[in-house]
């Protein structure tokens, strides 16, 4: 067992010697790591030793215990401070509480009682730092796994908000986006250090989180005010500036588009990564976005541009047959233009394949299980001819067509009512998401999301929250039931998260509500 360090600070030499020598510190797992007669000398010792416990007089010459405590918070923040105080110093007690001193004891102090308090303080230190250390060590790996799941094509959708909450991340929104940072060598920068650095910059003003996306990639999750929030680009530039001054390695930063739902943060991440895959065309050691990679090939003749715009619209309107015709026309128009650089073709292929992936995703499940986006990205990066490009895109349109018509229902009416019916019967399912409901009733996620707002005037998340909270209030008010049981019955797997949602909705904690309305 490792010994806990104690430092004794007391200007009365006799009392100081008494504390150091008359208490059997070592028998109880402590070692006296130093002693001092005033706060100034003590501070140097504390900074060097980083002790678990400091026992200090509250009132000393040169530098008082309170002043010293303020400095300790900066130099050794985890150290627990136990103050010794005489009756006449009692006026300082209030200040000591404010400084979050672990405890303060009245002189003359009883040795056994002081030892007991030191043990409690050390145990408190142990509990906090062990949990924190474990969390800090495992967090980067958990974050990487989260981003892997976020981009997996073949697995069911993850509940992004819940998973981020479990990683200690809560984002205010209402809009979300991702900035991606790539380092040329293996990433060895301390994320926590980086977070501290970013917090002292413009990042401080907003709700953003730095996470590890891969061994050589960091992802910054951004919470933005609106869809066209200019701070996204500004933050990417700021980040580039900070990191470029920290390392001689090449840093490349990209960012995805902004989305109005937390569950769509995966799209922004995928777009940032897609842009990152274009860095050898766009140039490394700079900042750019997916939209910039797309627009590099847009200075073309009007007809080609018009066809691109047409293709984009047919995809957005959900018309695979029309999109296929326009793609053939576009291929011919590019051939007539003769000199289209290969890099432009790749950018075009990336632009339309990304749009098609999201269309296929709306309809796919078991019907298109051969679909794998990363393989197609690889093909695009390696393509050499226009024919290869059009083949890839025709293939994707065909997959979209197949997936759509296998699943489409004849009845287009009341999709929202079908969704609401399903939600009323399944709100207890903790894996219930907009995507899942959309798949059940065979419509696309954005379509269902917009339909909710158009037809009902509220969004999916608000309606699901209301269903769950009303049921939770009914259960809590109706009898002798444990909060965790209610939590499970209304579709939450994490009791703390349930507590936060319940308080936000009702202004009471579940326990307070139970007491008040039972």
Domain boundary among 386, 407, 428: 407
pLDDT tier, 53 (very low <50, low <70, confident <90, very high otherwise):
very high
277 and 216 belong to one structural domain = yes
pLDDT tier, 470 (very low <50, low <70, confident <90, very high otherwise):
very high
User: What's the CA gap between 199 and 188, in Å, rounded?
Assistant: 20
Give the pLDDT confidence score for residue 132 in this predicted structure: 66
DSSP state of 297: T
390 and 472 belong to one structural domain = no
The neighbouring-strand residues paired with 178 are 221
Indicate which CATH number applies to the domain containing 17.
3.40.50.2300
48 and 114 belong to one structural domain = yes
Q: Is the peptide bond before 265 cis (omega within 30 degrees of 0)?
A: no
Is residue 276 in some structural domain? yes
The neighbouring-strand residues paired with 223 are 176
478 and 391 belong to one structural domain = no
Domain boundary among 381, 407, 433: 407
What phi and psi, each to the nearest 5 degrees, are found at residue 476?
-70, -35
User: What's the CA gap between 295 and 163, in Å, rounded?
Assistant: 34
253 and 326 belong to one structural domain = no
Is residue 142 in some structural domain? no
453 and 512 belong to one structural domain = yes
Residue 318 DSSP SS3 = coil
Is residue 205 in some structural domain? yes
Let me know the angle formed at the C-alpha of 68 by 52 and 133, rounded to the nearest 5 degrees. 30
Is residue 102 in some structural domain? yes
User: What's the CA gap between 307 and 456, in Å, rounded?
Assistant: 36
Is residue 166 in some structural domain? yes
User: What's the CA gap between 352 and 356, in Å, rounded?
Assistant: 6
DSSP state of 454: I
What confidence tens digit (pLDDT) does each residue in 339-348 have?
677 778 888 8
280 and 173 belong to one structural domain = yes
pLDDT of residue 233 exceeding 90, the answer is no
260 and 312 belong to one structural domain = no
Give the pLDDT confidence score for residue 427 in this predicted structure: 92
Q: Give the C-alpha distances (Å, rounded to integers) separating 64 from 14, 20, 255.
A: 19, 20, 51
pLDDT of residue 99 exceeding 80, the answer is no
User: What's the CA gap between 325 and 323, in Å, rounded?
Assistant: 5
Contact 494, 159 (CB under 8 A): no
- Low-confidence winner among 136-140, 490-494, 500-504 (lowest mean pLDDT): 136-140
Domain boundary among 407, 441, 463: 407
Give the pLDDT confidence score for residue 197 in this predicted structure: 63
Q: Averaging pLDDT over each range in 151-155, 186-190, 229-233, 453-457, which range is the top one?
A: 229-233
Beta carbons within 8 Å of 77's beta carbon, 6+ residues apart: none
- Mean pLDDT within 151-180: 75
Contact 8, 19 (CB under 8 A): yes
b vs e for 119-155, b when ≥16 Cβ sit within 10 Å of the residue's Cβ? eebbeebeeeeeeeeeeeeebbeebbebbeebeebee
Q: Is the peptide bond before 246 cis (omega within 30 degrees of 0)?
A: no
Dihedral of the CA atoms 189, 191, 197, 202 (nearest 10)?
120
Indicate which CATH number applies to the domain containing 251.
3.30.70.270
Look at phi and psi of residue 21 and say left if phi exceeds 0, alpha if psi is from -120 to 50, else beta. Answer: alpha
372 and 423 belong to one structural domain = no
Residue 7 DSSP SS3 = strand
Beta carbons within 8 Å of 233's beta carbon, 6+ residues apart: 255, 287, 289
pLDDT tier, 294 (very low <50, low <70, confident <90, very high otherwise):
low
Give the pLDDT confidence score for residue 405 in this predicted structure: 67
Dihedral of the CA atoms 44, 49, 52, 55 (nearest 10)?
-40
376 and 454 belong to one structural domain = no
Per the structure, the complete domain to which residue 480 belongs is given by: 415-517
Q: Closest by alpha carbon to 490, among 509, 462, 469? A: 469
Strands 175-183 and 80-85 come out as unpaired
436 and 397 belong to one structural domain = no
What confidence tens digit (pLDDT) does each residue in 359-385 have?
887 776 544 455 567 777 778 888 888
Query: Into how many domains does the chain fold?
Result: 4
Is residue 292 in some structural domain? no
Burial class (CB in 10 A: 0-12, 13-18, 19+), 351: buried
Is residue 141 in some structural domain? no
360 and 456 belong to one structural domain = no
The neighbouring-strand residues paired with 281 are none
Burial class (CB in 10 A: 0-12, 13-18, 19+), 8: buried
Give the pLDDT confidence score for residue 281 in this predicted structure: 64
DSSP state of 158: P
Mean pLDDT, the chain, whole residue set: 80
Q: Averaging pLDDT over each range in 118-132, 353-367, 480-494, which range is the top one?
A: 480-494
b vs e for 392-417, b when ≥16 Cβ sit within 10 Å of the residue's Cβ? bbeebbebbbbbbeebeeeeeeebbe
């Amino acid at each position: 067992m490792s010994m806990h360090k104690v430092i004794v600070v007391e200007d009365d030499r006799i009392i100081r010697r008494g504390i150091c020598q008359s208490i059997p510190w070592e028998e109880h797992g402590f070692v006296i790591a130093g002693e001092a007669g005033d706060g100034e000398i003590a501070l140097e010792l504390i900074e060097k030793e980083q002790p678990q416990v400091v026992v200090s007089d509250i009132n000393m010459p040169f530098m008082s215990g309170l002043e010293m405590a303020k400095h300790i918070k900066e130099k050794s923040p985890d150290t627990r401070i136990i103050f010794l105080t005489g009756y006449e110093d009692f006026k300082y007690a209030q200040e000591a509480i404010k400084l979050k001193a672990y405890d303060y004891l009245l002189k003359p102090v009883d040795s056994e009682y002081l030892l007991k308090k030191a043990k409690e303080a050390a145990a408190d230190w142990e509990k906090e730092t062990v949990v924190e250390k474990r969390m800090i060590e495992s967090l980067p790996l958990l974050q990487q796994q989260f981003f892997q799941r976020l981009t997996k094509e073949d697995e069911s959708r993850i509940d992004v908000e819940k998973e981020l909450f479990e990683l200690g991340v809560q984002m205010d929104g209402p809009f979300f986006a991702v900035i991606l940072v790539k380092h040329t060598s293996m990433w060895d920068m301390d994320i926590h250090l980086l977070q501290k650095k970013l917090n002292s910059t413009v990042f401080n003003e907003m709700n953003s989180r730095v996470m590890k996306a891969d061994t050589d990639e960091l992802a910054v999750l951004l919470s933005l005010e609106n869809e066209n929030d200019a701070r996204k680009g500004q933050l990417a530039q700021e980040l580039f500036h900070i990191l470029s001054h920290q390392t001689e390695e090449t840093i490349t930063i990209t960012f995805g588009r902004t989305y109005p739902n937390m569950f769509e943060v995966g799209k922004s991440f995928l777009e940032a990564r897609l842009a990152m895959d274009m860095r050898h065309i766009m140039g490394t050691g700079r900042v750019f976005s997916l939209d910039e990679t797309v627009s590099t090939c847009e200075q073309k003749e009007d007809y080609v541009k018009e066809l691109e715009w047409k293709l984009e619209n047919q995809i957005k309107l959900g018309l695979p047959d029309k999109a296929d015709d326009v793609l053939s026309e576009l291929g011919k128009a590019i051939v007539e233009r003769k000199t289209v650089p290969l890099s432009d073709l790749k950018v075009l292929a990336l632009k339309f394949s990304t749009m098609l992936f999201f269309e296929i995703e709306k309809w796919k499940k078991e019907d298109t299980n051969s679909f794998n986006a990363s393989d197609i990205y690889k093909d695009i990066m390696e393509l050499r001819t226009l024919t290869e490009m059009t083949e890839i895109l025709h293939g994707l349109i065909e997959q979209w067509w197949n997936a759509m018509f296998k699943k489409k229902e004849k009845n287009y009416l009341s999709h929202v009512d079908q969704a609401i019916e399903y939600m009323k019967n399944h709100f207890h399912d903790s894996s219930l998401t907009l995507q899942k409901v959309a798949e059940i009733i065979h419509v696309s996620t954005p379509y269902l999301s917009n339909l909710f707002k158009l037809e009902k005037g509220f969004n999916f998340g608000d309606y699901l929250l209301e269903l769950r909270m009303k049921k939770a209030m009914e259960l809590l008010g109706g009898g002798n039931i444990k909060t965790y049981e209610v939590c499970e019955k209304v579709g939450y797997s994490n009791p703390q998260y349930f507590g936060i949602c319940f308080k936000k909705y009702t202004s009471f904690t579940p326990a307070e509500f139970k007491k008040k309305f039972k």
